[in-house]
Structure 1
Amino acid sequence: MKGVIFDFNGTMFLDSHLHEQAWFHMIRKYAAATITDEEIFTNIHGRTNSEILRHFINKDLTQKDIRKLSDEKEGLYRELCLKNEKDLVLTKGLVETLDHLKSQCMPRTIATATVKENVAFYFDVFKLDRWFDFETVTFDNGTFPGKPAPDIFLIAAKKLGLQPNECLVIEDAFSGLTAAKKAGIGTIIAIDPFGKNREAFEQNELGSGGIIQDFTAFQELLLVK
């Protein structure tokens, strides 16, 4: 392992419930048909906003429509983050992990399906510039397909100047783990903070490098060796 690529949402920041809340609101507001909670849940994580909007609202949305709806959704999401201050913290053990990686001069970056405005929000709220260079972060800029396509991790590895098989990826979403596997990432670790997905990850041979609950376990798995 020569570099580490972190997913962000649901991995570094346990905000899946806030994204879900914002998407449920948007889809129920704009979708013509009734859609089940289960369908919404299974078709949002790891995907780009344009993919989600076209899937649930209208496959013929213009880029202007997508931008407007995406801005509305992300604005609502950030409002929810600020209203839930107790949840606005990094995952347990992550600060110590990032400090250790920095002390070891380990190349590291973030690969996230979210938009640039949210990445800027996270850098501000969590002071991520302590550990990451904003310019190396890969986010949804509309130029590549979302997870489970491998593109995001191929781009992230290239930004680190590494081959995919030289990198470790840490991910929480089924689609993200699938993307890492397709990208040929050398070590893939799944994080399952609430113990809901271990069986599905194991059955689909995802997270072959280990399945952890938080970053205290991540350190035990890798950093004390």
Structure 2
Amino acid sequence: MRESSPFSCSITTGEASRASLNTDSSRREAYAGVIFDFNGTLFWDTPLHNRAWDAFLERHGIFLSDAEKTRVIHGRNNRTIFEDLLGRRLAESELADLIEEKETVYRDRCRRESPGLAPGAAPFLDFLADRGIPRTIATASGRANVKFFFEFLGLTRWFSFPDVVWDDNRIQGKPAPDYYLAAARKLALSAAVCLVFEDSFAGIRAAQNAHAGRIIIVDSTGQDYRAFGHQVITDFSQVDRSVLSSHPATPSAPSG
């Protein structure tokens, strides 16, 4: 029997029920664009991030449980995370050094453990690309990590690097709507006609605050998402592709 990996999953009856949530066959809006969160959504790297954070936190005399990491770290931008952890305002140079310290550990773990994209993600991305459906990524990762992901995972097959919205230490972090509003503008669309995929609580709230047309939650860690009331999937093959428009004809987002 093949040993299970932290990045693989099996679908239980309960999970299958959750995957069917909010998939009313009478509801057939055609969404014009797709915006993906990345970490924990397209790339199931939560265990790698947690171990990298453990190494960083130990060096700095800080302990967080996995539940506390979910609340304090996941889905938030770097400035907010590090300033909350250290309890003080950070200069740009110190923040950059702290980010690089942690992310160097994380990228090394990615290279050694080589997790791929989420289950069903590559065929779904091929589907979007083949039909010319606009798509991009809105991630709280910094530019260096995004560049690493593009090279390590071959993301240029599906995404344009300049269209990605990442943490530039200026954009307001999730749950503010800024990431998803900026991503929709990159696609020349309104967030209201975009389908968003997210996994973190902060990210789901950010998509809600951006008034995204539809939100699908990607569950890679077995969290309880019932309070949100959105469809939950564990594999991108569970996405109803008929809700996506191959030839979007919707008004673009305002430039302001």
TM-score by length of 1: 0.90
Offset, 1:28: 2.5
Which residue of the other structure, out of 125, 135, 158, is the alignment partner of 1:108? 135
What one-letter code is carried by the residue in structure 2 that aligns with 1:212? I
Q: Is the 8 A contact 2:178 2:210 kept in 1?
A: yes
Larger radius of gyration: 2
Deviations 1:138-196 (A, max 9, x none): 000112121111100000001100011011100011110010000110110001124x2
Q: After superposition, where does 1:5-20 map in structure 2 within 5 Å?
A: 5-20=35-50
Q: Is the 8 A contact 1:24 1:40 kept in 2?
A: no
Provide the aligned C-alpha RMSD in A. Answer: 1.8
Is residue 2:227 matched to residue 1:203? Answer: yes
Is residue 2:201 matched to residue 1:174? Answer: yes
Structure 2, gaps ≥5 residues long: 1-30, 245-256
Offset, 1:202: 2.0
Q: 1:34 and 1:116 mapped to 2: Cα distance?
A: 27
1:44 corresponding residue in structure 2: 73
| Divergent runs of 4+, >6 A | none
What one-letter code is carried by the residue in structure 2 that aligns with 1:216? S
2:233 corresponding residue in structure 1: 212
Q: After superposition, where does 1:116-135 map in structure 2 within 5 Å?
A: 116-135=143-162
Q: Is the 8 A contact 1:151 1:183 kept in 2?
A: yes
2:123 corresponding residue in structure 1: 96
Which residue of the other structure, out of 44, 48, 60, is the alignment partner of 2:89? 60
1:137 corresponding residue in structure 2: 164
Offset, 1:58: 3.3
Deviations 1:24-81 (A, max 9, x none): 22122224x6554532332100011111111112322221111100011111100011
Structure 1, gaps ≥5 residues long: none
Which residue of the other structure, out of 28, 34, 40, is the alignment partner of 1:4? 34
1:184 corresponding residue in structure 2: 211
Q: Residues 112 and 19 of structure 1: is their aligned pair in 2 closer, same or farther, counting only changes over 3 Å?
A: same
Offset, 1:214: 1.3
Q: Is the 8 A contact 2:78 2:169 kept in 1?
A: no
1:71 corresponding residue in structure 2: 100
Q: Aligned residue pairs: how many?
A: 215
What one-letter code is carried by the residue in structure 1 that aligns with 2:108? E
Q: 2:181 and 2:69 mapped to 1: Cα distance?
A: 27
Offset, 1:221: 7.4
Q: Is the 8 A contact 1:13 1:91 kept in 2?
A: yes
Deviations 1:79-120 (A, max 9, x none): 0111112xx201111111011111111000001000111111
Q: 2:142 and 2:53 mapped to 1: Cα distance?
A: 14
Partner SS state of residue 19, structure 1: helix
Task: Between 33-42 and 129-138, report the one with greater CA deviation.
Answer: 33-42
Question: Larger helix proportion, structure 1 or 2?
Answer: 1
| Bigger relative contact order (CA 8 A; separation at least 6) | 2
Q: 2:64 and 2:227 mapped to 1: Cα distance?
A: 28
Q: Residues 157 and 105 of structure 1: is their aligned pair in 2 closer, same or farther, counting only changes over 3 Å?
A: same
